[in-house]
């Protein structure tokens, strides 16, 4: 079964320096129909104005993935990591027993556009951790590239969660399939462009909640960038 969530139905917050679309209930946005899907809890599409960002704040017991689309995100945390996250990089931070971090856009005159994803961890109270990898566009071209997984296979970042995250770029005749376990859930988030998934046409910002399906077929892309999640039920 596929359930469509249109882009314009997401929550939205405009803080001036930060403009954010919320796929699931977050902060002051609450929708009882959208409080997560499986162990996927948050997808925030954030746009941070130049010279601004999130000051130092804490997290605990959460797997947090950042996927930068344009600009660059500057990350600093209590584990000693000071990193720049450019487009094409995937960053995973395991909050575990507790971590504090900040995220800033230091690029003069340039907005930073990124997705932040929160996934419920398998184990609580683990040691905090950090990993960052570059995923070249060529690896995502016309296919679903594994970018995050429990064991870090296929050069993905590893995470303390029973989930897998794939990213793909599709245009024209390019198409791909992904086998699913019908006993699990899946979620498709179209970042930009247009794409057909199992016969359902999506436009940038749209999403599909998926359950009781054994296969995904992606085709008819128009400058499409997509994330696909394999999740617990």
Among residues 62, 66, 67, the alpha carbon closest in space to that of 128 is found at: 62
Question: How confident is the model at residue 82, as a pLDDT?
Answer: 87
State the DSSP code for 222.
Answer: E
pLDDT value of position 214: 97
Q: Which pLDDT band holds residue 139 (cuts at 50, 70, 90)?
A: very high
Element (DSSP H or E) covering residue 68: strand 63-70
- Number of neighbours of residue 139 by Cβ within 10 angstroms: 17
Instruction: Determine the Cα angle at 126 with ends 122 and 129, to 5°.
Output: 100
**Consecutive H or E run containing 89:** strand 89-94
Neighbours of 214 (CB within 10 A): 9
Domain 2-231 has CATH 2.60.120.10: yes
pLDDT at position 223 is 98
Q: What is the pLDDT of residues 44-81, one digit of tens each?
A: 999 999 999 898 999 999 999 999 999 999 999 889 88
> Cα–Cα distance between 205 and 137 in angstroms, integer?
20
With a cut of 90, say whether residue 107 has pLDDT above it: no
Domain residues of the chain, as ranges?
2-231
């Amino acid at each position: 079964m596929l359930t469509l969530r249109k882009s314009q139905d997401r929550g939205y917050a405009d803080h001036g320096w930060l403009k954010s679309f919320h796929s699931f209930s977050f902060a002051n946005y609450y929708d009882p129909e959208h409080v997560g899907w499986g162990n996927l809890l948050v997808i925030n599409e954030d746009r941070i104005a130049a010279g601004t960002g999130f000051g130092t704040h804490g997290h605990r017991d959460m797997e947090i993935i950042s996927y930068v689309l344009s600009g660059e995100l500057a990350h600093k945390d209590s584990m000693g990591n000071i990193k720049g996250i450019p487009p094409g990089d995937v960053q995973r931070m395991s909050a575990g027993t507790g971590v504090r971090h900040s995220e800033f856009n230091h690029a003069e005159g340039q907005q930073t556009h990124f997705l932040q994803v929160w996934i419920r961890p398998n184990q609580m109270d683990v040691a905090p951790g950090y990993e960052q990898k570059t995923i070249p566009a060529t690896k995502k071209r016309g296919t679903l590239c594994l970018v995050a997984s429990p064991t870090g296979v296929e050069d993905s970042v590893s995470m303390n969660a029973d989930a897998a995250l794939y990213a793909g770029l599709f245009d024209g005749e390019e198409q791909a399939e992904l086998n699913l376990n019908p006993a699990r859930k899946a979620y498709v988030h179209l970042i930009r462009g247009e794409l057909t998934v199992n016969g359902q046409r999506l436009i940038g910002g749209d999403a599909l909640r998926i359950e009781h399906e054994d296969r995904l077929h992606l085709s008819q892309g128009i400058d499409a960038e997509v994330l696909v999640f394999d999740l617990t039920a």
